[in-house]
Amino acid sequence: MALVATLLPFAALGAYVGLTRVFLGGLTLFVASSLFCSLSLSLPMLIAARLLQGLGAAGVMSVSVALMKAISPPDRFGRALGLSTFVVGGAFMLGPLVAWLILSFSGWPWLFAVNVPFGGLTLFVALRVLPALAPVAHSVDWSGAVLNVLAFGAMLLGVGEIAHDGSAYFAAGSMLLASLCGGVLVRRSMGQQAAILPVDLFAHRLFALSAITAFLSFIAQGLAFVSLPFLLGTKFGRGQFELGLLMSSWPAAVAVVSPISGRLADRRNAGLLGCAGLAALFAGLISLAMLPPNAGDLSIGMRLSICGMGFGIFLPPNLKALMDSVPRERSGSANGVTALARLFGQAIGAALVALSLRVGGAQGGVLALLMGAAAVGAACGVSALRLAERN
């Protein structure tokens, strides 16, 4: 929750003090808080450390794409995004295996401690190679930042309470607080260049369409990633190790196709590439929802790979279109919206899985996949509206 609620404030801070400073500060906080997590002796200490870790991750994610755009040649920005997606896909592929190995030979603190040497090496390299970028904003709307944290934090609490059949009064109060703070935030953001919530960017048609497409696609990803382990474990009897290997098919496929998609993004229409990738993702989700009871690992892995290929084709061109549709000095704000669409969409997807499992019972996993396919279908329709746009 801390990660989602602070993305836009950190993006605004990046415009005020410089993208590189926020990136390095967020990375430093993430590494230090990972060490704090591994040394925690009680649940309150671990919660506090995880809160700091979320803040550090928000600092990194809120400016990373804008930083990439600032240091990449304009005609190779898509290629850079493809390579970045390749790295992320590879990390997601190896993550479950690494976690399984760590827990097989040591305790849970090492899940956090492993971040320290890798994060420290990343910080060392970043300090040596990243340029110092000049600020582009003269102030930060601190009141807007508080409203943003309250609005998104309360909304996530309310959605989670509804999904888990919690207190109706708490859910209603959270959603009311989110609505009030969000309404005030939108109102005060109108016409402001340095607003925490960059409402003015949505006046750019390509930006708005790309942001909506991203949000819907990440809802679908959240639905799939959370529901599939339940479905494959309960209905198809796969164990934890098998689940990890099967689920790695999706990010592995993303890693394979994203460099190619990134190269194409520098030359081809984002709407066309987006529709092609989303169509493949739609087909993959439908095929997973229709898995026969005796489905083998190869059949499941192939369907997951189709989903990953579709997502890998879609992601770099959509991200490039979103970032290229606004003036360069507003890249930080656009980055914040991009990261928020991703994480908030995934959070909504996860909450919808909880709701589908409660409503659908034994068929809850299938229901969640069908909901994901519906979100992808809507995203494909929005992406098609960009076919006439010039990137």
Return mean pLDDT, the chain: 88
The rounded distance, in Å, linking the Cα atoms of 211 and 320 is: 11
pLDDT for the residue 260 = 92
> Is the predicted pLDDT of residue 363 greater than 80, yes or no?
yes
pLDDT for the residue 358 = 83
pLDDT for the residue 76 = 87
* Cα Rg of the chain (Å, integer): 21
> Is the predicted pLDDT of residue 357 greater than 80, yes or no?
yes
Lowest mean pLDDT among 105-109, 204-208, 370-374: 105-109
Q: Average the pLDDT over 1-22 and give the result.
A: 86
Q: Are 197 and 185 in contact (CB under 8 A)?
A: yes
pLDDT digits (tens, 9 = 90+) for 264-309: 988 888 889 999 999 999 999 999 999 988 888 899 999 999 999 9
The rounded distance, in Å, linking the Cα atoms of 219 and 316 is: 17
2-141+192-384 maps to which CATH number? 1.20.1250.20
Residue 4 tokens, joined: 């989602």
pLDDT for the residue 163 = 67
Q: Which band of pLDDT confidence, cut at 50, 70 and 90, is reported for residue 24? A: very high
> Is the predicted pLDDT of residue 220 greater than 90, yes or no?
yes
Amino acid of residue 219: I
pLDDT for the residue 28 = 95
**Where do the structural domains in the chain lie, given as residue ranges?**
2-141+192-384, 142-191
Residue 239 tokens, joined: 């164990």
**How far does CA 12 lie from the centroid of its chain?**
19
Q: Average the pLDDT over 328-334 and give the result.
A: 85
Question: Which residues, including other chains, have CB under 8 Å from residue 205's CB and lie 6 or more apart?
Answer: 389
Q: Could you tell me the pTM of the whole model?
A: 0.87
How many CB atoms are located within 10 Å of the residue 117 CB?
Answer: 10
Instruction: Look at phi and psi of residue 204 and say left if phi exceeds 0, alpha if psi is from -120 to 50, else beta.
Output: beta
Q: Are 35 and 112 in contact (CB under 8 A)?
A: yes
pLDDT for the residue 375 = 95
Lowest mean pLDDT among 190-194, 268-272, 274-278, 316-320: 190-194
The rounded distance, in Å, linking the Cα atoms of 101 and 367 is: 32
pLDDT digits (tens, 9 = 90+) for 88-145: 888 877 777 788 788 778 888 888 898 999 999 999 999 998 888 887 777 788 888 8
Q: Which band of pLDDT confidence, cut at 50, 70 and 90, is reported for residue 390? A: low
Backbone angles phi, psi at 180, to 5 degrees: -65, -50
The rounded distance, in Å, linking the Cα atoms of 343 and 221 is: 10
Question: Which residues, including other chains, have CB under 8 Å from residue 314's CB and lie 6 or more apart?
Answer: 217, 261, 273, 274, 276, 277, 278, 281, 383
> Is the predicted pLDDT of residue 389 greater than 70, yes or no?
no
pLDDT digits (tens, 9 = 90+) for 68-80: 998 888 888 889 9
The rounded distance, in Å, linking the Cα atoms of 314 and 318 is: 6
Helix (H, G, I), strand (E, B) or coil at 266: coil
Place of tokens 């930083």: 67
**How far does CA 203 lie from the centroid of its chain?**
23
